Amino acid sequence: MITFHDVSKSFITNNGQKIKAVDQVNLTIQAGEIFGIIGFSGAGKSTLLRLINGLELPSSGSVEVAGQNLAQLSANELAKARQNVSMIFQQFHLLWSRTVIENVQLPLEIIGTPKTQSLQKAKELIELVGLAGLEDKYPSELSGGQKQRVGIARALANDPKILLCDEATSALDPQTTQEILELLININKRLKITIVLITHEMDVIQQICDHVAVMSDGRIIEMGEVVDIFKHPQHTLTRQMVQSTGIDMNESLIDLWAQYSNVYPKGTLIQLTFDEQTVDLPIVTALSQKYDIPISIVYAQIHTLKTDNLGKMIIHIEVEEAQLKQLLQSFINAGVQAEVIDHE
Amino acid sequence: MNNNPSLFEQYTNFDRVNWEKILSATYETLFMTCFATLAVFFLGITVGYLLYRTTQRSHKKTIVAQFLSGIVNLFRAIPFLNLIVLLIPVTKLLLNTITGPAAALPALILSATPFFARMVETGLRDIDRGVLEVADAMGMTAWQKFSKVYFPESLPTIVSGITSTAIALVGYTAMAGVIGAGGLGNLAYLEGFQRNNATVTLVATFIILVIVFLIQWTGDILVRKIDKR
Ligand SMILES: Nc1ncnc2c1ncn2[C@@H]1O[C@H](COP(=O)(O)OP(=O)(O)OP(=O)(O)O)[C@@H](O)[C@H]1O
Ligand SMILES: [Mg+2]
């Protein structure tokens, strides 16, 4: 759906300096997925997003959207191509001079949709985003969450193929953020719209994205399936971000291990990692009964990603070497990753 | 007859007031104000929009921008009285007369347009930049952007701007009396000053005040009604 080939974008600042906002980016976004871009302020995320709807053109490299290279389009063709791409923003950017329904109708006015038709469509969309009854309110009379819903309805009005979200939930409280994220997933599923969202919150990525790219200083430093990034973050920055969500898959567990090795000076600590298939099976209990050994659960946590549930568990046992080997093998056979983290 | 009328009598000698003259002078003042305001409204929005567009970040400070800005500042600096006298030959050429309410119009419009254009420019600058980005992302044409974003989103500033402008214009029409433009100011000058008729001056002043208050009141109500921010 969207392909970046070696895309760079530079700006000349007011004092004549050259800034590379986007630097040699290659990426592919599949039709129908939710793709997240995460990075700190100034990483170049918004610029990357603006390259997708042609508000910026690349300094070098090429951006292909729905099979069209944006830089090669005439002004007319570009305007038409933009009809396929909509955008929502952190600060909503609604027209205060228009009511809710008039805001939603705006994109339809631009393409000359007849009045009755556009009214019908706007009503449907307002219903879809859960604002029925508020059609004639002005944005100043709405809460942040409601404003963002208007933004979403407006963005959907011209039946786009792609929805770009620039920090769409950053100005909202956690509860409202949840609601908006659910709405986005809903839209992605029901309307089959490809969503590209940028954020500085890993929680958002965790909850709704299929793929994620981590950006720093204009470059993509890490990219892949969200589950993989959460399981095996490569870059320090990514690791920090993953940790910030409280899904302490790696580094921070080391502290836990240290802690528990004191509590359990004897025996073995084993870390188990469950995936979607195994996370809700009673494997530990089953094996405990099968081999008739007591297994104490030291630590357990399940994290819900969009595509996967990830379970982490630390167990403690005191058994013979041979039985330990057997037990580990049984875990692996059951599809659970088992790792000895502390032994005697 | 009392040869030495008291101050009170000087101001309340309504027998010497020619109400017909007052009425027609009021009409002339209203005509000049309304016509000039209307013209300034359209001209000022156009000039204000051009001022704004040519100095936007995406444009370089072009020659057009500097030229426009220079002209605007120039006309804002010329005192109205000088301007009206300065324009006499032009007015004669345009209207074939240099007296009567119409003759005041070129000077009124020329002096008020820069004043109002600057206010329009400020209003446009105050529009949320994000909203303009939305407009671009939607693929709006320049005219759509003007009619759907620039104009409605800066309307409160435009309305309060044109209100102040109209009030200033009422004051200018009084000064236009010097070239015999008619109106209440002219009447106060001819009757009140030259013929020593303070009552006429008082009445004329009162009517001018009423006009000014009416304009202010209408403007305030309009702004309150349209400003949904
Ligand atoms: N039009 C522009 N002119 C000059 N510099 C720009 C322009 N747009 C962006 N930049 C610069 O490019 C860099 C990346 O900006 P960008 O807005 O893409 O970052 P971001 O990741 O979206 O940050 P944030 O999280 O703060 O929104 C910044 O250093 C910014 O100052
Ligand atoms: Mg940004």
Contact list in A for residue B139 (CB cut-off 8 A) is 78-80, 82-83, 110
Cα separation, A6 vs A219, in Å, equals 11
Q: At what angle do helices A100-110 and A115-128 cross, to 10 degrees?
A: 130
Q: Is residue B97 part of a domain?
A: yes
Q: What is the DSSP string of A52-84?
A: HTTSS--SEEEEEETTEEGGGS-HHHHHHHHTT
Q: Examine the pLDDT at A330 and tell me if it is beyond 60.
A: yes
Nearest ligand 1 atom to the CA of A13 is 4
Residue A199 Cβ < 6 Å to ligand 1: no
Contact list in B for residue A78 (CB cut-off 8 A) is 139
In sequence order, which residues have a C-beta less than 8 Å from that of residue A128 and are 6 or more positions away? Answer: A153, A156, A187
* pLDDT tens per residue, range B99-149: 888 888 999 999 999 999 999 999 999 999 999 999 988 888 899 999 999
Looking at residue A224, its amino acid is G
Predicted confidence at residue A251, as pLDDT, reads 46
Residue A206 Cβ < 6 Å to ligand 1: no
Residue A63's φ and ψ, nearest 5 degrees, are -115, 125
Strand order in the sheet with A60-65: A18-29, A2-12, A60-65, A68-69
Number of A/B CB contacts below 8 angstroms equals 55
Q: Is residue B27 part of a domain?
A: yes
Interface predicted TM-score (ipTM):
0.87
| Dist. CA B199 → ligand 2 center (Å) | 67
Average pLDDT of chain A is: 88
Residue A300 Cβ < 6 Å to ligand 1: no
Q: Which residue has the higher pLDDT, B115 or A260?
A: B115
Q: Examine the pLDDT at A116 and tell me if it is beyond 70.
A: yes
Predicted confidence at residue A248, as pLDDT, reads 54
Residue A46 Cβ < 6 Å to ligand 1: yes
Predicted confidence at residue A114, as pLDDT, reads 95
Predicted confidence at residue A337, as pLDDT, reads 84
Neighbours of ion ligand 2 (CB under 5 A): A 46
Predicted confidence at residue A82, as pLDDT, reads 87
Would the CB atoms of A93 and B130 count as touching at under 8 Å? yes
* pLDDT tens per residue, range A197-224: 999 988 899 889 999 999 999 999 999 9
Domain containing residue B86: CATH number = 1.10.3720.10
Predicted confidence at residue B57, as pLDDT, reads 60
Q: Find residue A63's DSSP bridge partners.
A: A4
Q: Is residue B198 part of a domain?
A: yes
Across the range B35-56, mean pLDDT stands at 93
Q: Examine the pLDDT at A312 and tell me if it is beyond 90.
A: no
Contact between B114 and B108 (Cβ < 8 Å): no
Predicted confidence at residue A206, as pLDDT, reads 87
Q: From atom 11 of ligand 1, which residue's Cα is the shortest distance away?
A: A21
Cα separation, A312 vs A275, in Å, equals 9
Across the range B33-54, mean pLDDT stands at 95
Predicted confidence at residue A255, as pLDDT, reads 58
Q: From atom 2 of ligand 1, which residue's Cα is the shortest distance away?
A: A11
Q: Is residue B3 part of a domain?
A: no
Predicted confidence at residue A155, as pLDDT, reads 96
Across the range A139-162, mean pLDDT stands at 95
Nearest ligand 1 atom to the CA of A39 is 21
Predicted confidence at residue A257, as pLDDT, reads 60
Residue A37 Cβ < 6 Å to ligand 1: no
Predicted confidence at residue A56, as pLDDT, reads 92
* pLDDT tens per residue, range B48-103: 999 998 887 655 667 778 888 899 899 888 988 889 888 888 888 888 887 888 88
* pLDDT tens per residue, range B192-218: 888 888 888 899 999 999 999 999 999
Q: Is residue B1 part of a domain?
A: no
Q: Examine the pLDDT at A319 and tell me if it is beyond 80.
A: yes
How many domains does one find in chain B? 1
Domain of residue B163 covers 8-226
Q: What is the DSSP string of chain B?
A: --SS--HHHHH--GGG--HHHHHHHHHHHHHHHHHHHHHHHHHHHHHHHHHHHHTSTTS---HHHHHHHHHHHHHHHS-HHHHHHHTHHHHHHHHS-SSSHHHHHHHHHHHHHHHHHHHHHHHHHTS-HHHHHHHHHTT--HHHHIIIIIHHHHHHHHHHHHHHHHHHHHHHHHHGGGGT--SHHHHIIIIIIITT-HHHHHHHHHHHHHHHHHHHHHHHHHHHHH---
Predicted confidence at residue B179, as pLDDT, reads 77
Mutation to probe ligand 1, out of A47, A91, A165, A221 (largest number of atoms < 8 A from CB): A47
* Confidence (pTM): 0.83
Q: Give the model's confidence band at A254: pLDDT under 50 very low, under 70 low, under 90 confident, else very high.
A: low
List Cα–Cα distances, A88 to A119, A250, A312, B226, in angstroms: 21, 34, 36, 26
Residue A47 Cβ < 6 Å to ligand 1: yes
The lowest-confidence range among A100-114, A240-254, B79-93 is A240-254
Residues of B with CB under 8 A from a CB of A: 128, 130-131, 133-134, 136-140, 144, 148-149, 152-153, 155, 226, 228-229
Give the pair of three-digit tokens for residue A148: 């963002």
Q: Is residue B111 part of a domain?
A: yes
Q: From atom 31 of ligand 1, which residue's Cα is the shortest distance away?
A: A42
Start-to-end CA span in chain A (Å): 54
CB-count burial class (<10 Å; 0-12, 13-18, 19+) for B11:
middle
Q: What is the DSSP string of A180-238?
A: HHHHHHHHHHHS--EEEEEES-HHHHHHH-SEEEEEETTEEEEEEEHHHHHHS--SHHH
Q: Is residue B2 part of a domain?
A: no
The lowest-confidence range among A206-215, B41-50, B176-185 is B176-185
Would the CB atoms of B130 and A91 count as touching at under 8 Å? yes
Q: Examine the pLDDT at A279 and tell me if it is beyond 80.
A: no
Percent of chain A with pLDDT over 70: 93
Predicted confidence at residue B195, as pLDDT, reads 83
Q: Which residue has the higher pLDDT, A19 or A227?
A: A19
| Dist. CA A210 → ligand 2 center (Å) | 21
Across the range A104-133, mean pLDDT stands at 95
Cα separation, B103 vs B101, in Å, equals 5
Give the pair of three-digit tokens for residue B205: 């002043």
Give the pair of three-digit tokens for residue B32: 């000049």
Q: Which residue of A has its CA nearest to B139?
A: A79
Predicted confidence at residue B3, as pLDDT, reads 65
| Dist. CA A160 → ligand 1 center (Å) | 25
Cα separation, A315 vs A87, in Å, equals 47
